[in-house]
Amino acid sequence: MLSLEEAQQRAEQIVEMARAIGADAADAIYVCDASTQVQMRLGVLEDVERSEGEEIGLRVFSGQRSATVSSSDMSAEALSRLAERALAMAREAPEDQFAGLAPEELLLRRKVNGLELADDEDPEPAHLKERALIAEDAARSVMGVTNSEGAGASAGRSHIALATSHGFSGSYAGTSHSCYASVLAGEGSRMQRDYASHGVRHLADLEHADSIGHRAGQRAVARLDPIKIESGQMPVIFDPRVGSSLIGHLIGGIVGAAITRKASFLLERLGERIFGEGINIIDDPLRTRGLRSRPFDGEGLPTKPAHLIENGVLTGWLLDSASARQLGLQPTGHATRGTGGAPGASATNVHLEPGSMTPGELMADVKRGIYVTELIGMGVNMVTGDYSRGASGFLIENGATGPAVAEITIAGSLLDMFANLTAASDLEFRYGVNVPTLRIDGMTVAGG
């Protein structure tokens, strides 16, 4: 793995090479990921994996034509060949009137501090093994757990550097630490599976393995003996670990590519109230130790917090430079990219602000409904907003959760679901997208 300084120098070097041989513009991104993962099952070491890979991607422009190539060879000779190949490909590519680097006047010109994306901890495999074993033992100790799919712990580090031919050069590092356990409860055809996990930037923030394992065991046991229910319309309450998927559909509907292709159920909704009053959804790429935090986007533009939804109103799109040009707008600092292909756009750390009611208060008036803890399948039409997914969870009766339910289907329209969404007060920041417990009234539930 190159140091951040070396990585930045390589990116600058290959951009200079491309310009020297005739490219009108160029940018390069270096990405390196290194990780160690240990997996245990039934108390026995099942796998130890150490991986490290680095790659540099170069995008060059010849007029309005462009091409992207990548290589894992960082030598000067390999980079020179890469630049030559990229320029030759670009000259044969079709013209794209929207192609180009980000606007020079919008580039990040200052150093961003305080994100704390990397720590100095690099656990030995023996420590990861111990953490995984603790998690699995805790899960298996829960009464009713009968088997294990395993537990694991991992640690990783990544380096990212970006350079452009019109004046941007920057880099940053990030670390990751995680632990999970997955177990089964019951016997034979009654068996049920569930899991628990946690991932963080800094090891000091990682939940104790015992707690992770115990929660996995409890979740699996709670799913035993699911009942069948009658179909009908009823309130559906989403556990935070699955409710975030609803915000994922929102994000998918406001990225630049979906808008420019006119392939989004939100296409005509800009500036309209699509959630209830008081609902705020925020994208914050500068959250300290955030799982998706970053000081600059995939084109060298500064990142900043933004309301995606403000008081229920859809405020704008997530745009890279190409989609912004196509729409006659400015890029929003949401460009994402790998080492191959042109940039796209996406959100970073997203959260839905909490409401005022506890989860118990949120379901207190529900005579009959469903508390969803797992979603299955991808039955969502992002053009029409039609929503239909398999689910499992628990029956709600008279304001309290009851027996487990499985093999049900929940359906509705995303626009109707957004409009009827109510948020509880229990927001925690554990994932890239975080939501409190969510309630949506009037969904169609089909029993198994």
Domain end residue (candidates: 220, 247, 264): 220
Euclidean distance between the first and the last CA atom of the chain, given in angstroms as a whole number:
51
Domain containing 254 equals: 226-448
Burial 249-273 (b: 16+ CB within 10 A, else e): bbbbbbbbbbbbeeebbbeebeeeb
Residues 332, 413: one domain?
A: yes
Q: What order do you get walking across the sheet with 145-164 strand by strand? A: 65-71, 44-62, 25-41, 145-164, 169-185, 192-200
Residues 126 and 258 in one domain: no
**Do both 152 and 279 map to the same domain?**
no
Task: Spell out the alpha helix ranges (H) of 295-429.
Answer: 321-327, 359-363, 414-419
pTM, two decimal places: 0.95
Can you give the pLDDT at residue 224? Answer: 97
pLDDT tens sequence for the chain (448 residues): 899 999 999 999 999 999 999 999 999 999 999 999 999 999 999 999 999 999 999 999 999 999 999 999 999 999 999 999 999 999 999 999 999 999 999 999 988 888 999 999 999 999 999 999 999 999 999 999 999 999 999 999 999 999 999 999 999 999 999 999 999 999 988 999 999 999 999 999 999 999 999 999 999 999 999 999 999 999 999 999 999 999 999 999 999 999 999 999 999 999 999 999 999 999 999 999 999 999 999 999 999 999 999 999 999 999 999 999 999 999 999 999 999 989 999 999 999 999 999 999 999 999 999 999 999 988 899 999 999 999 999 999 999 999 999 999 999 999 999 999 999 999 999 999 999 999 999 999 998 6
| Shared-domain flag, residues 240 and 196 | no
On whether both 413 and 319 belong to a single domain, the answer is yes
Asked if residue 144 and residue 74 are part of one domain, the reply reads yes
Does 16 share its domain with 165? yes
Question: In terms of domains, do 164 and 134 share one?
Answer: yes
Do 69 and 182 share a structural domain?
yes
Same domain, 48 and 93: yes
CATH number, position 85: 3.30.2290.10
Same domain, 165 and 260: no
Query: How many domains does one find in the chain?
Result: 2
Q: Final residue of a domain: which of 220, 248, 268?
A: 220
Question: Looking at 220, 238, 268, which one is the last position of a domain?
Answer: 220
Burial 406-435 (b: 16+ CB within 10 A, else e): bebbbbbebbebbbbbbbbebbeebbbbbb
Residue 438 has a pLDDT of 98
Nearest to 350 by CA among 238, 249, 257: 249
User: Looking at the structure, do residues 156 and 259 belong to the same domain, yes or no?
Assistant: no
